[in-house]
Each structure stands twice: as C-alpha cells, then as structure tokens.
Amino acid sequence: MSALGSAVETSLDIARIRAITIDLDDTLWPVWPAIARAEAVLADWLAAHAPATAALFGDAQALRAIRVRMEALRPDLRHDLSALRRESIRMALVQAGDDPQLAEPAFDCFFAERQRVDLFEDALATLDFLASRYPVVALSNGNADVQRIGIGRYFAASLSATQFGVAKPDARIFHAGALAAGAEPGAVLHVGDDALLDAQGALDAGMQAAWLNTAGAAWPRDGAPPHATVPSLTALCELLA
C-alpha cells in the first residue's frame, strides 16, 4: 500500500470508479451538535405544550435515556431513527399523563431543527468536486434530509436506512445505492467516517472504500483495510484528482 503524504494511504483503482456513495452524519458535518440543538428545541416545545412531560423528561440526558429505552423495547425500529425518536417522545408523554398525540408535532419540531447542520469547512467544495465528476448518492443510517439541509443539488439520489428498511453495514443498502447511481458495486467508491458501518460495509458489498479517518486511528478490523484512508475530505479530493 502506498502513501500520499504522511496521512493518506491508498490502493484505490481510480480508473474503475464510475460513481460515489457517501455517508452524511460525521462525514459532511458533525452530527452531535445538531442533535443537541434539536433536543434543546424539543425540551422547550415540551415545556410550552406538555409541561408534565417536560417536568419528567425536560433535559437532553432524560430525552436520550428514554430514546435508548425505546430502542431496547422496539429493536424492529433500530433502522428508523425518526420512528425511534417519535415513539420515545410518545412514551414520555404517556408516562407523564400528557396527550400522546402531541408526539407528532413534538417530533416535527425536533426534526426541523435536526436539519440545521454546520457543514465541515471542506464539505461543499468536496461535494462540488465529486458531483462534477461522478453521480453521487447519499447513503445514511440517519434521518438527515439533503433537500431540507440545502445540498440536494449535489446528489443523484439520497437513500437512508429509514426509507430502505435496512441499515449499513448490510450489503443490501450499499447495492441499492450503487443501483441508484447507475453503476455496479465494483465500480462505486463509498466514502464515510465509520470503520464498520461505512468502510467495512462497503468492502463486504464489493465496493471500493474510502475511510474518512480524521482522528488518525489504526484500522480496527481484521482483514484487508479500506482502499483509501484519508484525514479529511480535502485529502480525498486531492487523491481522486
């Protein structure tokens, strides 16, 4: 495996790439600041519209705890973060004695704020670079909406585990992303920050994989590493150029 600079490792076959699939959360923006803001807005909404629920679950820690509990109760919803959040809000309302139908507008409030993300500094330039060369498909386990965020113009399609019903690292969602891009899996490069969900998942699906490894961590999996390991989106563009 060769190195491009001190932090980029690559065995990419760039000539084979006909399309790109790319993760969203923590690849194009940091996800937890957006979630924290959304939870704060949700807490304010509950205080105004469901005060009993706010008294029991009126801070981010309590809201996250009941969401974790809902995930344990409803493993069938693990691929659908919107449904998990909505049903955790509903459970909180029921436990507090408030109207469970408030779960819908409460979730809408949360979801709208969750779409307010702060893109990484090089994200737009990277999307512009990639989209000018390849069809790009968003492939996410989260519930971000590229249209509402304002970056939909860069994508030929956007596929989430919520819509598809299966989450990364399952090969089926990678293959669906390749199909949406109009390419065979072997002609697709998947880009993402998570070693298991993105890089290993793409490898197992027969794709090339670029691992966005901003922390400079060692590859944590057994077997072959991803075809490229890059410290930034800018480094990925430099590699593909």
Per residue in 65-104, pLDDT (tens digit) is 898 899 899 988 988 999 999 999 999 999 999 999 999 9
The pLDDT of residue 3: 37
Q: How far is CA 195 from the centre of its chain?
A: 13
Q: What's the confidence (pLDDT) of residue 7? A: 66
pLDDT digits (tens, 9 = 90+) for 30-66: 999 999 999 999 999 999 999 999 999 877 788 888 9
* Rounded mean pLDDT, 3-28: 85
Q: Are 187 and 205 in contact (CB under 8 A)?
A: no
Axis crossing angle, helix 60-73 with helix 81-96, rounded to the nearest 10: 110
Taking alpha carbons only, the member of 76, 69, 72 closest to residue 91 is 69
* pLDDT value at residue 61: 82
Element (H, E) at 181: helix 171-181
C-alpha angle with apex 66: 62 to 72, nearest 5 degrees?
Answer: 150
**Once rounded to an integer, what is the mean pLDDT over residues 219-238?**
94
* Single-letter amino acid code for the residue at 193: D
User: What is the spatial distance between Cα 241 and Cα 222, in angstroms, rounded to a whole number?
Assistant: 30
Joined together, the tokens standing for residue 130 give 């990639």
Cα(24)–Cα(22) distance, integer angstroms: 7
pLDDT confidence of residue 6: 43
Give the pTM: 0.91
Task: Give the whole-number percent of the chain exceeding pLDDT 70.
Answer: 97
Which strands, in side-by-side order, build the sheet including 208-212?
2-4, 8-10, 228-230, 208-212, 188-192, 19-22, 136-140, 157-160
Sign of the dihedral through C-alpha 165, 163, 98, 38: positive
Q: What pLDDT does residue 34 have?
A: 95
Q: Is residue 230 helix, strand or coil?
A: strand
Is the pLDDT confidence value at 1 over 70?
Answer: no
First-to-last alpha carbon distance for the chain, in angstroms, is 19
User: Would the pLDDT of 4 be above 70?
Assistant: no
Residue whose tokens read 């330039």: 125
- Is the per-residue pLDDT at 144 higher than 80? yes
**Pair of tokens at residue 76:** 């069938």
Share of the chain above pLDDT 90, in %: 85
Torsion of CA 22, 212, 119, 131, to 10 degrees: -40
Average pLDDT over residues 105-127: 97
Instruction: Show contacts of 153-161: CB within 8 Å, 24+ apart.
Output: 154/127, 154/128, 154/130, 155/131, 156/180, 156/181, 156/182, 157/181, 161/79, 161/80, 161/81
Structural domains in the chain, CATH included, are 2-29+120-240 (3.40.50.1000), 32-114 (1.20.120.1600)
User: Has residue 215 got a pLDDT over 80?
Assistant: yes
Tell me the β-bridge partners of 136.
20
